Structure 1
Amino acid sequence: MSAAPERAPLVAEPLTAGAFAPFGEVLEATGAHVLINEGRCRRYSDLAALDIAHGRAGVSFFAAEPRTWPVEVPLVERHPLGSQCFVPMSGGDWLVVVAGNGPEGPEGLRAFLARGDQGVNIARDTWHGVLCPLGDAGTTVPRLFAVVDRIGTEGEPAGANLVEHRFAAPLTVHPGA
């Protein structure tokens, strides 16, 4: 059995709507809005198109421990039955690793550095890394994220909306310039 081919490390690029478009949508409080609540609140509407098959959309909170650079990514996952929307609630930069769904698994891996005021809606069936807030060495306080995604139906087998791909050797991601 031969060793896994050597893979070059990824370099995280800034998260922009254009660069991320093949994988989903970037959520930002910029651009068109309407004033509500007697003019004291800006509403930025319909920032993400949720894509849910069967089941229903639900809102969950995820508390993820921060990681430091370089980040090792041992696996990616995809959700064939629905998109998955992540919105940071604790501030701070975070890493988004994504890839297209090729015939042999993840294809065209990319890494994005998201700011604490940016969310993403990862398109259905798109490979992505696990939630990865970034912090300084020794920082262990979990960062909170609101997650809007598909909640399965009663009687649905566990894992029906989860496919994982574990790399032969972890993918390494470095910060961009």
Structure 2
Amino acid sequence: MMQLPITPLTQENFAPFGDLIDWRQAEHFLINAGTTQRFHCLAEVNTGAEDGRAIISIFRKPQADSLPLRVTLLERHPQGSQAFIPLNAQPFFILVAPATEGSKPDLHQLKLFLSDGQQGVNYAAGVWHHPLIALQDGDCFLVVDRQGDLANCDEYTLEAHLELWIPALSASTDTLCVHDSNA
């Protein structure tokens, strides 16, 4: 059994995978006759190829993911970035692996982050990640990503003998257990 700690979600720790979107740590300036704080350019949208354009969507999870969560799938978007910004200020998990040249993620480089609900992320193009892991029923996220003619979602299904589990949260739980059933 291998354990993967929950890495603190900071810009420095998340930089290999993209941008941390956290308005609380950003510089701002006043607009609209001094009535509004603008936290400008928290992340850049990468639409990649010439046919791409940035789109804004809402993703809603009617039911929270049950913990512990068995991880069976990772995905990546090779043509552009994908940002997730929580709308309900609820914590959520982020499971990522660096971009790779081939068609498989490097599972030895997986990182697990926990957003405090005020932090969003912008996955860099090609970064492997688990689909949205919401911890509260009805949680909503503003999503900014790429739409275009080129295929922009690769999926990798974990082999049957490899099981990754995200534990239930408790005061003493801060790891992701990785179990290889062939061991």
- With the length of structure 2 as denominator, give the TM-score of the two structures: 0.81
Question: What does residue 64 of structure 2 align with?
Answer: 66
Question: What does residue 76 of structure 2 align with?
Answer: 78
One of 128, 148, 152 as aligned partner of 2:148: 152
**Mapped contact 2:26–2:42 kept (Cα < 8 A):** no
**Mapped contact 1:12–1:173 kept (Cα < 8 A):** no
Question: What does residue 23 of structure 1 align with?
Answer: 17
Once the 2 structures are TM-superposed, how far is the Cα of residue 173 of structure 1 from its aligned partner? 2.2
One of 32, 39, 48 as aligned partner of 2:34: 39
Structure 2 Cα separation of the partners of residues 31 and 55 of structure 1: 28
Structure 1 Cα separation of the partners of residues 152 and 103 of structure 2: 19
Structure 1 Cα separation of the partners of residues 46 and 26 of structure 2: 23
Question: What does residue 176 of structure 1 align with?
Answer: 174
Structure 2 Cα separation of the partners of residues 144 and 73 of structure 1: 21
Gaps spanning 5+ residues in structure 1: where?
Answer: 1-6, 136-140
Q: C-alpha offsets along residues 113-165 of structure 1, whole Å, 9 cap, x if unaligned?
A: 01111110000000000001114xxxxx3211010000123xx5xxx111001
Go from structure 1 to structure 2 and tell me whether the alpha carbon gap of 1:15 and 1:68 turns closer, same or farther (over 3 Å shift): farther
Aligned residue pairs: how many?
Answer: 161
Once the 2 structures are TM-superposed, how far is the Cα of residue 9 of structure 1 from its aligned partner? 4.2
Structure 2 Cα separation of the partners of residues 70 and 14 of structure 1: 20
**Structure 1 SS opposite 2:2:** coil
Deviating beyond 4 angstroms after TM superposition, the runs of 4 or more aligned structure 1 residues are: none
Structure 2 Cα separation of the partners of residues 47 and 16 of structure 1: 14
Question: What does residue 105 of structure 1 align with?
Answer: 104
One of 89, 92, 100 as aligned partner of 2:90: 92
- Aligned-pair RMSD on alpha carbons? 1.8
Question: What does residue 131 of structure 1 align with?
Answer: 132
Once the 2 structures are TM-superposed, how far is the Cα of residue 34 of structure 1 from its aligned partner? 0.3
Structure 2 Cα separation of the partners of residues 16 and 125 of structure 1: 20
**Mapped contact 1:87–1:119 kept (Cα < 8 A):** yes
- With the length of structure 1 as denominator, give the TM-score of the two structures: 0.83
Whether 2:153 is the aligned partner of 1:162: answer yes
- Residue identity in the other structure for 1:105: K
Q: C-alpha offsets along residues 90-114 of structure 1, whole Å, 9 cap, x if unaligned?
A: 1210000100133462121111001
Structure 2 Cα separation of the partners of residues 144 and 56 of structure 1: 23
Structure 1 Cα separation of the partners of residues 58 and 42 of structure 2: 19
Structure 2 Cα separation of the partners of residues 76 and 106 of structure 1: 8
Structure 2 Cα separation of the partners of residues 14 and 70 of structure 1: 20
Counting aligned pairs with the same residue, the percent is: 37
